[in-house]
Amino acid sequence: MPALTKLFRYGVVGIIGAVTHMSTLFLLVELHVATPVVATTIGFLLALITSYWINRLWTFGYKGSYWSSMARYGIVSFIGLGLNILIIKLCTDVLGLWYGWGAFAAVVAVALNNFVLNNLWTFSHRTSSPSP
């Protein structure tokens, strides 16, 4: 698949993931169910599950091992989660900004980080092996 097509599809999946993540974050915080850090973590995990399947099947057309790609995707996503939490904490606790600005900044930073890592490692056909 051409790189531009892959990037476009990744962007569409990213929008779906961002909407899932952000709507969970804002809903939980505004309903006073969770703090911004807890809410962003829950939103991130929901977005992770959704985006893994869509990216695996549609964006990358990956036919390799389910378990190894899920493990790699999880590693990349948890690196992204750490980056997300770091940005939220920096914006709210250090800079005193509204948590929403941190959330928007985190979405951009994490999306770029995760595309590069997923494209080069998680769904690289060099790492694929036949599915069982």
Q: Under a CB-based contact definition with an 8 Å cutoff, are residues 5 and 65 in contact?
A: no
Looking at the 3D structure of the chain, how many domains does it have?
1
Alpha-carbon distance 70 to 124, whole Å?
13
Domain that holds residue 66: 3-125
In a domain, 82, yes or no: yes
Q: What is the DSSP letter of 4?
A: H
In a domain, 113, yes or no: yes
In a domain, 87, yes or no: yes
In a domain, 130, yes or no: no
In a domain, 61, yes or no: yes
In a domain, 16, yes or no: yes
Q: What is the pLDDT of residues 102-118, one digit of tens each?
A: 999 998 898 889 988 99
| Single pTM value for the model | 0.71
In a domain, 132, yes or no: no
In a domain, 131, yes or no: no
Q: Under a CB-based contact definition with an 8 Å cutoff, are residues 34 and 52 in contact?
A: no
Alpha-carbon distance 88 to 68, whole Å?
30
Question: Taking 60 as the threshold, does the pLDDT of residue 127 lie above it?
Answer: no
